[in-house]
Amino acid sequence: MSRSTKVKFETTTVQFVRPLLGFNDDTFELAQHDADYPWFTLSVADADFPSFIVVDLAAAFTGLSLDIPDDIAADLNAQDIDDLLILGIVNVADGFTVNLAGPLVVNLIANTIAQVVQDTDLSTAAPLNGDN
């Protein structure tokens, strides 16, 4: 799997079709941190909190299988799998671990986003194979 993310954009506004668990905000700005690496920031619009560091899971983890239920795909208005970007929320304070059990699915065409909780034993604190 490619190390670099396939997605190239600077900032786009995305709308949660279902609230992010633990928060009521629904409009966020998704920005690519660096075009050469699969890092993004997800920041609530018009406020200083909350923001998240997120990473393109396709670029950061190989062999990862995730389930996107049909009802959530419909809510995201997903027409083509290639339109979807799958992101993992990173816990910086925990040493850049990634929540694989609650990935974010972004439809880059419809600008919709949802957290798709996996009913499996995937880790909520998977370590990245980074150099720090």
Partner 1 sequence: MLVLTRSSNAGVQIGDDIEVVVLEIKGDTVKLGFSAPRSVRILRSEIAEQISSKNQNSAVRTASLDNIAFPALEATS
Which residue ranges make up the site for partner 1 (CB under 8 A)?
A: 1, 3, 18, 20-23, 33-34, 37-39, 41, 43-44, 47-53, 55, 59-63, 71, 74-75, 89-94, 96, 99, 101-102, 115, 117, 119, 124-132
Q: Which is nearer to partner 1, 34 or 67 (CB)?
A: 34
10-46 burial, b at 16+ Cβ within 10 Å, e below that, comes to eeeebebbeebeeeeeeebebebeeeeebbbbbbbee
**Pairing of β 126-127 and β 97-107:** antiparallel
We find the least distance from the C-beta atom of residue 111 to partner 1, in angstroms, to be 19
**Residue 46 Cβ, how far from partner 1 at the closest point, in Å?**
10
Instruction: Identify the helix (H) or strand (E) that includes residue 57.
Output: helix 57-60
Instruction: Rank residues 84 and 88 by Cβ distance to partner 1 and give the closer one.
Output: 88
Least distance from partner 1 to the Cβ atom of residue 53, Å: 7
